[in-house]
Structure 1
Amino acid sequence: MSSISAPPETQRDGDSEDIRLLADPRLAEAISLFNRGEWYACHDGFEELWHETQGDSRPLLQGLLQAAVAQLHLERGNRRGATVLIGEALGRLARCGERGLGIELIPLRQSLRLWLKALQHDEPTDTLSLPHLVRTLQHPPVN
């Protein structure tokens, strides 16, 4: 048995729970809803998966869920709630590597940092692009 292991960001999609989640049509639907800005509906999808998940993907799902709920708060005029949730989402997503569950996480974190900065400095957010989940085209090999 080799003592060399892949970095955490390449191991994420390789465990059996991640494989199950990647095959679950609810994940693809939640991602699609997120990218269409249907925050409440995607929140429901991510939350359902999050409740069913016990492994390493749990913080990632929670971070995605928090990012969606933050946008929902913004739609409803609750900047303070959005600020808190974006900060919490970034904290969770920071520990998830470069990609997970077939999603590129670096662009998402970059977008959320811009939103957080604008909210913390009470700047307008109408010029910011909505957060978007970029799907990876290939998954790392399963070891």
Structure 2
Amino acid sequence: REGIRLFNAGAFFEAHEALETAWLESPAPIRNLYRGLLQAAVVCLHLERGNLRGALKVYRRSLKWLEPWPEVAAGIAVGRFRREMQTCIQAARAAGPAEFSKAVCPRIQNADSALPTSHPGRG
């Protein structure tokens, strides 16, 4: 969870290091989720440094590890994160590397905080 905290704080290099440790120490299949998240941290690090080409390359690789997961896995809102990473990449492409802001990178939400606060039909 330290890697997720660091990612959400915008400390992408440190998040990558912590998530890499989680990936190496975790059993399959959860290790694949951590691998996708650590690659997402590398994507944001590349974007922060203005390396759009590198970000796109690692983003495509990260999808290999994130796409197989359901909407929610291991308490993480994986589906939401995938969608927000796609939005991040689209924004970076539109803005260009010189204009990219790390504020565009998504947060990794836990499943509880990603749920709507009211049930549909209950108001």
TM-score (norm 1): 0.68
Q: Which has the larger radius of gyration?
A: 1
1:102-138, Cα deviation, whole Å (9 max, x unpaired): 110111011111123345xx31144973211111239
Further displaced range: 99-108 or 33-42? 99-108
Query: 1:7-45 CA deviation, whole Å, 9 max, x = no partner?
Result: xxxxxxxxxxxxxxxxxxxxx211111111110111111
Question: Does 1 or 2 have the higher relative contact order (CA < 8 Å, sep 6+)?
Answer: 1
Q: Which runs of 4+ in 1 moved over 2 A?
A: 115-119, 125-129
Structure with a larger share of its residues in strand: 1
| Number of aligned residues | 109
The 3 A distance-change label for structure 1 pair 101 and 107 is same
Higher helix share: 2
Distance in structure 1 (CA, Å) of the matches to 2:73 and 2:102: 28
The answer to whether the aligner puts 1:54 opposite 2:27 as a matched pair is yes
Identical columns (%): 34
**Does the aligned pair in 2 maintain the 1:71–1:82 contact within 8 Å?**
yes
Q: Paired residue for 2:105, among 130, 133, 137?
A: 130
1:40 maps to 2:27: no
TM-score (norm 2): 0.78
**Which residues of structure 2 form unaligned runs of 5+?**
114-123
- Report the RMSD for the aligned CA atoms in angstroms: 2.0
Deviation of 1:83 (Å) = 0.7
